[in-house]
Structure 1
Amino acid sequence: MEEQKEKQEKVLVLPWMRSPVDVSLFEECPLSLVPCLDPRLKVALQNMGFASLFPVQVAVWQETIGPGSFERDLCVNSPTGSGKTLAYALPIVQALSTRAVKCLRALVVLPTRDLALQVKEIFSVIAPAVGLSVGLAVGQSSIADEISELVKRPKLEAGICYDPEDFSLGLPSSVDILVATPGRLMDHINSTKGFTLEHLCYLVVDETDRLLREAYQSWLPTVLHLTRFNDEGFFPRAHTFLPSSLGSLKTIRRSGVERGFKGKPYPRLVKIVLSATLTQDPSKLSQLALHHPLFLTTGKRRYQLPEKLESYKLMCETKLKPLYLVALLQKLGGEKCIVFTSSVESTHRLCTLLNFFDDLPFIIKEYSGLQRQSVRSKTLKGFREGQIQVLVSSDAMTRGMDVEGVKYVINYDMPVYIKTYIHRAGRTARAGQAGRCFTLLSKDEAKHFKKLLQKADNNSCPGYAVPSSSIESMHSIYTSALEKLKETVEMEAYQKRKMGFKSSRVGKRSGTHPSKE
C-alpha cells in the first residue's frame, strides 16, 4: 500500500517541488555574520548556547528576512534534529518586532501538546528580547487560564452596569504569537470572546504531514477562511526595513516563478510548512492554498536520516526478545535511551515486564497515550533531567520531540514504514551530534527491514551482537518476570471491568447510560 502511494506521488509531483532549493549547499553561518539580525536576538541566541545558525536556518532566513522577504510561502523538508523550529521562529520574531502593535500576528500549529510546549519554550526565549509576548493554547489544560492570558479583559468600574455584548468584539490580544494544538485552537475560535485571527500575518504548520492526515475539527479550512479577507496590507514585510546590501549571505536565484510583489501591499497570509517527511501528495498540499511556494529540502533524496546517525540491526529469537533488549541496554551502559514499540499496549506491557527484572542499573519508565498528560509531562521532565535513563515509548514521541543527550534509540518493534523509522531514529543524532539506532529483528523481518532502509538510501546497516551468555543467565529471571506480568495484566483487566461496572451503575441512576449517550 505504501509503495503504491509513493509511486503515485512521484508521478503527480507538483512542478514547484521538482526544482527545490538544496539546503545542503548552505553552510553554518556565525551569528556575527547573519545579515540584519537584531542585536537583541543575537544576545538571546548566545544565551541559548548558539554561536551560529545551521544550514536550514540560514536557508529560511534568506527567504524571509533576506532577499526572499516573505514573498513566497515556504515548504521545508529537512531531517529531524536539523533545527527547523528556530528556522521559522527567528525570522518571524524579527519581522514582528519591527512594528509595535499588540495583536495576534503569528500562529504556530502542532499536532501534540508536548510538541507545542517545546516550541513555545523556544519562542519564549527569543520573543521577549524584542518586546513580543507568546501564548499557548493546548488541550488538557485550563481553558479559562488560557483565555485570561490570550485576551485582555476591560477593567470594570463598580456601580456601572455593562452589557456582555459590549465586550464580545474588539478585545485586544495579550500575545503577538500563539503556539497551539488544532483542537484547542478551534475551542478558542468557536468560544472565546474577543479571540480573533483577523490580523494574522504568519501561519506555521509544523509536522505538516501529520496535521494534514488528521482533520482535527477542520481547523485548517477554518483558519484560512478567517484570514482570507485580511486584505488591507496593514503589516509591513521584511523588505521595508532591509538595507540594500545583505553582507555575506549568498543568494540563490530560481527561475520559473515571478516574484511580482515589490512595492505592493501584502494582502495574504504567509505560510511556512515543515516536516522531516513532507508529503508530496498534491491533494493534501492543495489544502494549504500555498502562494508561489518554494520547496527547501536537503539533498536529492526524499527521505533523509541525520548525518551522524549509525543504524544497526540485532537479530534475535522472537520468544526471547525482551532478554535481547535487556542485554543490549546493559551493554549500552545506562546512557539516555528511548525504546520504541508498535502500540500503547505494547509500551505498557514491555515497561511493566522490564521493571520486574531485578537489580537493573537504570531507571525505566513508560511514555504513551494511555497515561494522563500530567504523568507524561512528569516522566518527560525526569528523562530530560537524567533521573530516568530508559524511556519505553509508543510513537507518541517520534514527532519532533527534542530531548538533549539521547545517545541511543532502540526499535523494539520494527517500524512498518520508512517515515516512522526516520522520526524514531531522529530522536538521537540531533543538532550535529552522533547517535545510534538499533532495531531488533526476527529472521522473517530482516528482508523487509533492508528494503525499508533502502528508501532512505541507507544500504549500510551492520549487525550488532549481544553476548549469548547474558541471554542464558537471565532465563530464570525472565520466567519469573513473565509470571508477574501475567498477574499484573489480569489485575489491571479486573480493575477496568470494575470501573466500567461502576460507571454503568452511575449512568443508570442518572438516566445517562453510556450506551445511550
Structure 2
Amino acid sequence: MEEDKGLKKEKKNIPVLPWMRNPVDITTFDQCSVVLLPFIDPRLVAALKNMSITSLFPVQLAVWQETIGPGSFERDLCINSPTGSGKTIAYALPIVQMLSTRAVKCLRALVVLPTRDLALQVKEVFSALAPAVGLSVGLAVGQSSISDEISELIKKPNVEYGICYDPEEFSYELQSAVGILVATPGRLMDHINNTDGFTLEHLSYLVVDETDRLLREAYQSWLPTVIQLTSSSVDGNFPSSADLLPCTYGSLKTIRRMGTERGFKGKAYPRLAKMVLSATLTQDPSKLAQLDLHHPLLLTTGERRYKLPEELKSFKVLCQSKLKPLYLVSLLQSLQGEKSIVFTSSVESTHRLCTLLKFFDNLQIEFKEYSRLQRQSVRSKTLRAFRSGQVQVLISSDAMTRGMDVEGVRNVINYDMPAYIKTFIHRAGRTARAGLSGCCFTLMHKDEVKRFKKMLQKADCNSCPTYSASSEVIESLRSVYSSALEKLRENVESEKFKKSKIRLKSSNVRKEK
C-alpha cells in the first residue's frame, strides 16, 4: 500500500509556527574535518575513521554546534534535511559524545523509527560509535523473541549461594543493560507495558526519526506514553499510574517514583532533550504539538520545505500504460546492471510485477522483491544480497524503503508515479546520497506529464528531460510479454486457490475448537 494512501491532500494556508520562521540555514555550513571538530572525544575520531568518515557534512556540523557547541542543547531540535544528507550521524555522534561523560549506567537515549529495517540500519551506526567510549546499544524491534530481547536489555543481579554481598554496594533491582536503545514503536510499548526493570526514568535524549510517518500513525499511543513517562510536574513529583494514563495502561512498570525528580537518588536531572528529523518535516502545529517541544529550533536547507539531493538527475519516461512492463525492462537493460530500486504503488503491485518479470526469458538481470508481506528474515537476506551486488534490482513498495541507505544505488525508477511530492522525495533519496550522483526515472502516460511537472515544482525542480526507451527493444519483447502475462494469470489463480484453502482450513480449526 502506498505510504500516502488514505491521507488527505495537504491543507493550504496552514499557519506557520513562529519558531519556524527563523530557521538555521544548514547550507551556510561547510564540511569540517572530524579532527577539527570542537570538543570531540579522540576515541570518537578514531571510530569515525574506522567508518571511513573523515569529515562532517553540513547538517552534521550544524547539529553538533547546537548540541555540543555553543547551543549546548538548550533547545529541542527539528531537522528538515534532504535524504542522504547524513541525518543519522548528525544525531548519533553528539548523543554518544554526551553520554560518554556520564558515569551511571542506565538507559539514557531512546531512538524511535517506524520500521525494523530502518531501526537495524540506525543501530549499526550507533554500534560503530558507542563501544569506543564504553557505551552499549540495544535493539527492540521484534526481530527476535521478546524473551531474547529482554535478556539483552535488562541486567539481572548475579546472586550466588553462599556469597555475602555488601548491602551498600549490591542492589537486587533489575537494571538496564544498555545506555542507548533503538526501537520501533510497537515493540517499545511491549517493553514499557510488560518488561520488569525496563524504565524510562533516567532518559535524557529522545530522537524521533522519520517524524512525519511516526506522527501519522498511532502505534499504540507510544508518543504520549513516552512523553508522559519522561515529564515531571512543576514541583518535581511524578504522577501515579492512575493519574498518568488511562486504565488500559495499568500494567506500566516504568512510572517514575513518587517524591523524586527525574534523575538519581532524588537529585534533579536536566530536561528530556529531543531531536526530530525528516526530509519532509511537517509544519502542522497540531502534529508538532504532540512532541511537546522545548523552545524548538528549526534546522533546514534554505527557504524551500521540499528539497531534492543536489546531485540527482530526474527523467520522465513516456510510455503506453498497457506496455509499461516492457518500458521498464528496456530501461533496466539500458542501465546495464547498475544497482537500482524500482518503486510501485503497493505491496500487491510489487508482488505482481516481480512475478511477471520472472516469466521473461533470458532477462539477465538479478532482481528481488522487497515487501512488508515477506518475513523479516527474507527481507534481511534480500537486502544483504542487494548490498553485496548479488542482486542488481530491488522491486519495492514505499513502506519498506523510507530512510534506507544502501551504498552504490545509482538509479531509482518510479514504476508507478507517486501521488505526492513527499513520496517522490523519499523515493528519489535512495540515490544521490552523501554527495554522490544518481538518477531518478519516472514512468508515466502522456496525460500525467502536467501533474508530474506541477508536483516537481514544489521541490523547485523545473528541469526533467524525457528519457526515450528503445522502440526496437520494446517491439522485440512483445511476444515474450504476451506469454509472461498468460503465465501471470495462471499464477494469480493458483495463489488465490492456495489462500482460499488456507482460510478454509483455519475456519474449520476454529469451528472444531
Q: Same fold (TM over 0.5)?
A: yes
CA distance in 2, matches of 1:65, 1:403: 29
Shift of 1:265: 6.8
Matched, 1:452 2:459: no
Match of 2:251 in 1: none
Match of 1:7 in 2: 12
Structure 1 residues 152 and 233, CA gap change in structure 2 (3 angstroms): closer
Shift of 1:337: 0.3
Ranges of 4+ aligned residues in structure 1 off by more than 4 Å: 1-4, 230-235
Q: 1:367 aligns with which of 345, 351, 370?
A: 370
Q: 1:412 aligns with which of 404, 415, 432?
A: 415
Output aligned runs, 1:484-495, within 5 Å. 484-495=487-498
Q: 2:199 aligns with which of 196, 200, 203?
A: 196
CA distance in 2, matches of 1:307, 1:169: 55
- Aligned partner of 2:416: which letter? D
Matched, 1:76 2:79: yes
Post-superposition Cα deviations, 1:318-366, rounded to whole Å, max 9, x if no partner, equal 0100000000000000110000000000000001111111111221110
Post-superposition Cα deviations, 1:360-403, rounded to whole Å, max 9, x if no partner, equal 12211100111111111111111111110011100123310000
CA distance in 2, matches of 1:224, 1:391: 38
Please give the TM-score of this superposition, normalised by the length of structure 1.
0.89
Matched, 1:29 2:32: yes
CA distance in 1, matches of 2:374, 2:307: 31
Matched, 1:106 2:109: yes
SS at match of 1:7: coil
Match of 2:256 in 1: none
Match of 2:290 in 1: 287
Post-superposition Cα deviations, 1:206-258, rounded to whole Å, max 9, x if no partner, equal 000100000000001101111112954758xxxxxxxxxxxxxxxxxxxxxxx
Query: Does structure 1 conserve the Cα–Cα contact (< 8 Å) formed by 2:110 and 2:181?
Result: yes
Structure 1 residues 366 and 4, CA gap change in structure 2 (3 angstroms): closer
Post-superposition Cα deviations, 1:258-287, rounded to whole Å, max 9, x if no partner, equal xxxxxx975411000000000000000000
CA RMSD in angstroms, aligned pairs only: 1.9
Match of 2:125 in 1: 122
The more displaced of 149-158 and 130-139 is 149-158
Q: How many residues align?
A: 474
Identity of aligned residues (%): 74
Query: Does structure 2 conserve the Cα–Cα contact (< 8 Å) formed by 1:169 and 1:193?
Result: no
Matched, 1:171 2:191: no
CA distance in 2, matches of 1:301, 1:25: 15
Structure 1 residues 352 and 101, CA gap change in structure 2 (3 angstroms): same
Post-superposition Cα deviations, 1:440-462, rounded to whole Å, max 9, x if no partner, equal 00012111111110110101000
CA distance in 2, matches of 1:266, 1:294: 22
Match of 2:68 in 1: 65
SS at match of 2:13: helix
5+ residue gaps, structure 1: 161-166, 236-263, 511-517
Shift of 1:159: 9.4
Match of 1:228 in 2: 231
The more displaced of 365-374 and 116-125 is 365-374
CA distance in 2, matches of 1:361, 1:494: 31
Match of 2:468 in 1: 465
CA distance in 2, matches of 1:169, 1:277: 46
Structure 1 residues 393 and 2, CA gap change in structure 2 (3 angstroms): closer
Output aligned runs, 1:318-337, within 5 Å. 318-337=321-340
Query: Does structure 2 conserve the Cα–Cα contact (< 8 Å) formed by 1:398 and 1:420?
Result: no
Query: Does structure 2 conserve the Cα–Cα contact (< 8 Å) formed by 1:168 and 1:194?
Result: no
Match of 2:44 in 1: 41
Shift of 1:6: 4.1
Q: 1:210 aligns with which of 197, 209, 213?
A: 213
Matched, 1:434 2:452: no
SS at match of 1:388: coil
CA distance in 2, matches of 1:25, 1:398: 29
Shift of 1:494: 0.4
